[in-house]
A and B are shown apart, each in its own frame.
Chain A
Amino acid sequence: MKTINVKINGENYTREINEDMRLLDFIRDELKLYGTKEGCGEGECGACTVIMDGVTVNSCMVMAFQANNKEILTIEGMEDEKGLHPIQQAFLDEGAVQCGFCIPGMVLSAKALLDKNPKPSRKEIKEGISGNLCRCTGYNKIVDSIEKASQYLEGEDQ
């Protein structure tokens, strides 16, 4: 067993983990945060995307021990006391959601993108979510909603 300290969604966790545990399993099985999904187990679909130290990673491709002393944001950390994050609101407003299985990862990719590039072009948005596979939506409404989220966030800043 190995002890790790991880800050997830603003909260510090100190846990004993198995050495062979993936970050994804830590988040789901240990912390019971089931919003992070597993779609392929090999970093290809992005359903397990979380933000670690400011950048997106596939949590199925990170060993849990590697997250020691790191700060992680999962979908459960997107809402705050005011309610939905503007990106989540935009996904709702623009009709970006269908089956929803890709959506937590998609929202986090959108957040990482907008944090780095607050006014991305549609091409840049597509690049930003190119590691998140979706089989239902054909992506276009997701791109629309990230554009919309960019506007919402700009409005918030003013």
Chain B
Amino acid sequence: MKKRGFGYGCIFYGTGYGNGFPDISRSIAELDTKGHINIYVGATEVGQGAKTILGQIAAEALDVPVEIVTLIHEDTSITPDAGTAAASRQTYNTGNAVKISAEELKKEIIVVAKGLLNEDHLEISNGVIRSNTSDKTLTLKDIAEASGGGFLRKDGIFQANTTEMDPETGQGNPYWPYTINAYAVEVEVDTTTGIVDIIRAACSQDVGRAINPSLVEGQIDGGFAMGLGYAIFEDINLDKGRIKHNRFTNYLIPTALDMPEIEKIIVEDPESTGPFGAKGIGEPVMIAAAPAILNAIYDAVGVRLTEIPVTPEKLLKALKKREG
């Protein structure tokens, strides 16, 4: 028989290294001779979109078109250390460093422009330096040329707020900020085989502010898939220290057919310490998926599975045990 059930899960997640460990990102913003912006950071693009959103942050901070911003992160000899691409920290930490370096560069550009135009009230708008009091303008290329054919470069450094907890009581402020994630899931359980089918899901994801909504949505889909695998498929299956499931034929990750459609809701509540209010989401997007699935399985068939993954074998056994 097939039975359906609903389940919810919600979590909070403290981003960053935590516990007072110096959590530092560095960035260099540069105006090159062509009048383009280069951002140098040691932040890895692992697929999460760092290369795209850090460029967006720089473009926003400088008020230049995003197309003229290039992120350079592939070489340790020319990039400053921006910490690891982990702990959901690149958007928040390195995003802040990039923003600071971009803002510093903007100030520098304005200083050069003031000298060139002999005007005091200047701003950059969509990549053009404009006067607030006259119709004089300068391009970024003009600035680049005026600065002696060299490069204008500015550093940005950001350190996250974290304190070491008391070793006896665990009291303290280990992480900041915290990101929220919640999932609702509907499952269908085949009580004759123990197979769990995820019918549909919805996710509400706190992002502070979404730098790039499409990338956030992509993270949610991917996070859910990994949570789904965690809940019902994945186990390296150890036998005396040996990994028995050591290939893709037996270590099962979800296929396209295993994934439900997900209604993705981005919740914005800007974080004042984040770059334009943004927080990290790369890990949170995954976390509540598995518990929501477990709760939905219970709702469907009335048995609690306290051990994951919930394989057909385990579920059928639990159902049988309940029948007595």
| A touches B (Cβ under 8 A) | yes
**A interface with B by C-beta (< 8 Å):** 39-40, 42, 44-45, 95-96, 98-100, 122, 125-127, 129-143
CA–CA, A45 and B253, complex, Å: 10
Cβ B217 vs Cβ A95 within 8 A: yes
Task: Give the shortest distance, in Å, between B269 (CB) and chain A (any CB).
Answer: 23
12 sample A-B contacts, Cβ–Cβ < 8 Å, listed by A number: A42-B248, A44-B247, A98-B47, A98-B49, A100-B47, A127-B257, A133-B248, A135-B253, A136-B222, A137-B225, A138-B226, A140-B221
User: Which chain B residues border A142 with CB–CB below 8 Å?
Assistant: 256
Beyond A135-B253, A138-B224, A139-B225, is A44–B248 a contact (Cβ under 8 Å)? yes
**B interface with A by C-beta (< 8 Å):** 46-49, 214-215, 217-218, 220-226, 247-249, 253-257, 259, 261-262
Cβ B217 vs Cβ A141 within 8 A: yes
Cβ A133 vs Cβ B49 within 8 A: no
User: Which chain A residues border B248 with CB–CB below 8 Å?
Assistant: 39-40, 42, 44-45, 133
Which 3 pairs of residues, A with B, have the shortest CB-CB distance?
A: A99-B47, A138-B221, A138-B225
CA–CA, A125 and B257, complex, Å: 9
Task: Give the shortest distance, in Å, between B225 (CB) and chain A (any CB).
Answer: 4
Cβ A98 vs Cβ B256 within 8 A: no
Task: Give the shortest distance, in Å, between A93 (CB) and chain B (any CB).
Answer: 10
Task: Give the shortest distance, in Å, between B130 (CB) and chain A (any CB).
Answer: 33
CA–CA, A137 and B225, complex, Å: 8
Task: Give the shortest distance, in Å, between A114 (CB) and chain B (any CB).
Answer: 15
User: Which chain A residues border B256 with CB–CB below 8 Å?
Assistant: 125-127, 129-130, 132, 134, 139, 142-143
User: Which chain A residues border B215 with CB–CB below 8 Å?
Assistant: 95
- From B46, B223, B248, residue with most partner A Cβ within 10 Å: B248
CA–CA, A142 and B255, complex, Å: 12
CA–CA, A52 and B255, complex, Å: 23
User: Which chain A residues border B255 with CB–CB below 8 Å?
Assistant: 130-131, 133, 139
Beyond A44-B247, A136-B47, is A126–B225 a contact (Cβ under 8 Å)? no
- Which residue in chain A gives the minimum CB-CB distance to B224? A138
CA–CA, A40 and B214, complex, Å: 29
User: Which chain B residues border A138 with CB–CB below 8 Å?
Assistant: 218, 220-226, 254, 259, 262
- Which residue in chain B gives the minimum CB-CB distance to A123? B257
User: Which chain B residues border A131 with CB–CB below 8 Å?
Assistant: 255
User: Which chain A residues border B217 with CB–CB below 8 Å?
Assistant: 95, 141
- From B49, B215, B221, B261, residue with most partner A Cβ within 10 Å: B221
CA–CA, A40 and B246, complex, Å: 11
Cβ A44 vs Cβ B221 within 8 A: no
Cβ B257 vs Cβ A137 within 8 A: no
- Which residue in chain A gives the minimum CB-CB distance to B45? A99
Cβ A99 vs Cβ B46 within 8 A: yes
- Which residue in chain A gives the minimum CB-CB distance to B226? A135
CA–CA, A153 and B229, complex, Å: 34
CA–CA, A39 and B262, complex, Å: 27
Task: Give the shortest distance, in Å, between B44 (CB) and chain A (any CB).
Answer: 11
Beyond A126-B256, A138-B222, A138-B225, is A42–B48 a contact (Cβ under 8 Å)? no
CA–CA, A138 and B261, complex, Å: 10
- From B256, B259, B262, residue with most partner A Cβ within 10 Å: B256
Task: Give the shortest distance, in Å, between B199 (CB) and chain A (any CB).
Answer: 13
User: Which chain A residues border B47 with CB–CB below 8 Å?
Assistant: 98-100, 136
- Which residue in chain A gives the minimum CB-CB distance to B46? A99
Cβ B247 vs Cβ A137 within 8 A: no
CA–CA, A44 and B253, complex, Å: 11
Partner of B221, one of A99, A126, A133, A139: A139
CA–CA, A39 and B48, complex, Å: 19
- Which residue in chain B gives the minimum CB-CB distance to A137? B222
- Which residue in chain B gives the minimum CB-CB distance to A95? B214
Task: Give the shortest distance, in Å, between A6 (CB) and chain B (any CB).
Answer: 27
CA–CA, A132 and B221, complex, Å: 16
CA–CA, A138 and B223, complex, Å: 7
Cβ A98 vs Cβ B222 within 8 A: yes
CA–CA, A65 and B308, complex, Å: 45
